[in-house]
Amino acid sequence: MTVQQQHPALAAADPELAALVGAEERLQAETLRLIPSENYVSAAVLEASGTVLQNKYSEGYPGRRYYEGQQNIDQVETLAIERAKALFGVDHANVQPYSGSPANLAVYLAFAKPGDTVMGMALPMGGHLTHGWGVSATGSWFRGVQYGVRQDDGLIDFDQVRDLALKERPKVIFCGGTALPRTIDFAAFGEIARESGAVLVADVAHIAGLIAGGAHPSPVGHVDVISTTTHKTLRGPRGAMLMSREEHAKALDKAIFPGLQGGPHNQTTAAIAVALREASQPSFRDYAHAVVANAKALAEALLARGFDLVSGGTDNHLILIDLTSRQVPGKIAAKALDRAGIVVNYNTVPYDPRKPFDPSGIRIGTPSLTSRGLTPDHMPEVAEWIDRAVTAAGTGDEDTLAAVRAEVAALMAAYPAPGGAGARCVPGLTHRRAGIGSHT
């Protein structure tokens, strides 16, 4: 389908931008996307994101707006809220945060004051900027203290976490991160938070879909607040949610509006509602478990080829590869893989001697390839491509990178991308392998 056929109004009004959209659709369709924070949304989520809900301002909350004409908007937001509460088993949900970072900032606004001590995983160890890291506003406005992982096994050192929490007495503790390949022990964090008197926040942006699908333990019952984006493994639009016990509902709602934001993005709220409905279906449970099965199979195949994996493997959707032994820096490897049609991101590894913008590792994940229907049987081939491309990166062998790219494109053609990335999904049908919309 041409850009003119798929986006006729856009093509007519702005051919230059339409061409770029078409180029991105082809790129997403033809390449193997291994960035663990990316995924494909369904055609239904895409359609909801582009509705006339875009035209409406809705400051406030359902039944308590500052603008009139909210008869439909209130129902849309309420639908998203109730679906979030049901899917995750929480007392309260706020679906208005624009993205994950503002959602986390709202947590600080609700429970801390500038200068207070906050605690999170150090960024080089797998944490997130908004968990009190120095270059973030959260590290500038609050006093951030960080915990890490053990050097010998790459796992969270809970003795260090407890000692640090009791010594520093933070107002807020974050658990979760962006490069954690192992199951998060929410119960252990919960005990430490209660003992130190801190509000415990689970940032599950990466694993929210796995939690919804029963492929990762839930933080509910162990933490005070859950913060998450709505894309990544949850396969929704680029938005966020805050969920909590009822006792924290008012503080969080006030922090989002009027504390940080004005009118919510109603078209995104609608798309979140669609994604939450999709995540409540049995096929999504199949998908979540398939993501983990693929990640484990890929990790095993990479280990067999001599790659060093942080923590020795994975329990979830994410694999962190330390390329030090391959003598290829992560940035050079990532750019070579991109030329080979394999999209990853370069990433620091724990105790990395290299700088963050030129680190030792790459970070990969299986949400996107699972959405396309790939199975554990494909993972040895994916590992082989990564091996060949990383080796070629070290020798400057562009011919090998071109050959890998052709092989990747051939496999991707056999497994069309969901939604608008080169294919259309038929609502109501399920993919035989991964529980996603069938392709026509």
- Mapping DSSP onto H, E and C, the string for 201-225 reads EEECCCCHHHHHCCCCCCCCCCCCE
**Where does 139-276 show beta strands of DSSP type E?**
143-147, 172-175, 199-203, 225-229, 240-244
pLDDT the model gives residue 421: 58
The pairing of beta strand 172-175 with beta strand 117-121: parallel
Residues in the annotated binding site for (6S)-5,6,7,8-tetrahydrofolate = 123, 127-129, 246
Positive or negative, the CA dihedral 374, 379, 381, 385 is: positive
Catalytic residue among 30, 38, 56, 57: 57
Task: Label residue 176 left, alpha or beta by phi (over 0 means left) and psi (-120 to 50 means alpha).
Answer: left
| Active-site choice (30, 47, 59, 407) | 59
DSSP 198: P
203 tagged catalytic: yes
CB atoms within 10 A of CB 349: 26
DSSP class of residue 363 equals E
Sequence spans of domains, the chain: 52-279, 282-439
Which of these is catalytic: 85, 162, 238, 335? 238
Amino acid (one-letter) located at 311: S
Length of the chain: 440
25 flagged as catalytic: no
Distance of CA 318 to the CA centre of its chain: 10
- What residue type is 178 in one-letter code? T
The backbone torsions φ and ψ at residue 365, rounded to the nearest 5 degrees and listed phi first, read -160, 170
Cα distance between residue 361 and residue 383, in whole Å: 16
Who contacts 250 (Cβ-Cβ below 8 Å, separation ≥6)?
none
Which residues are CB-neighbours of 223 under 8 A, at least 6 positions away? 175, 186, 189, 190, 193, 200, 201, 202
Q: Does residue 287 have an active-site annotation?
A: no
Q: Which of 130, 138, 178, 229 does the annotation list as catalytic?
A: 229
Residue among 171, 232, 331, 405 flagged as catalytic: 232
Residues with Cβ < 8 Å from 232, sequence gap 6 or more? 36, 37, 38, 39, 205, 206, 208, 209, 367
**Annotated catalytic residue within 77, 203, 315, 387:** 203
Active site residue 130: no
Q: Which homologous superfamily is 282-439 in?
A: Aspartate Aminotransferase, domain 1 (3.90.1150.10)
Is 61 designated active site? no
Whether residue 403 contacts residue 354, with contact meaning beta carbons closer than 8 Å, is answered with no
pTM, to two decimals: 0.94
CATH class of 52-279: alpha beta
Burial of 18 (0-12, 13-18, 19+ CB in 10 A): buried
Annotation marks residue 314 as catalytic: no
User: What 8-state DSSP symbol labels residue 36?
Assistant: T
Q: How far is C-alpha 325 from the chain's CA centre?
A: 28
Can 52-279 and 282-439 be said to share one CATH topology? no
* Phi, then psi, of 32 in degrees rounded to 5: -95, 105
The tens place of each residue's pLDDT in the chain, 440 residues long, gives: 787 888 999 999 999 999 999 999 999 999 999 999 999 999 999 999 999 999 999 999 999 999 999 999 999 999 999 999 999 999 999 999 999 999 999 999 999 999 999 999 999 999 999 999 999 999 999 999 999 999 999 999 999 999 999 999 999 999 999 999 999 999 999 999 999 999 999 999 999 999 999 999 999 999 999 999 999 999 999 999 999 999 999 999 999 999 999 999 999 999 999 999 999 999 999 999 999 999 999 999 999 999 999 999 999 999 999 999 999 999 999 999 999 999 999 999 999 999 999 999 999 999 999 999 999 999 999 999 999 999 999 999 999 999 999 999 999 999 999 886 554 332 222 333 334 332 22
Write out the binding residues.
123, 127-129, 246
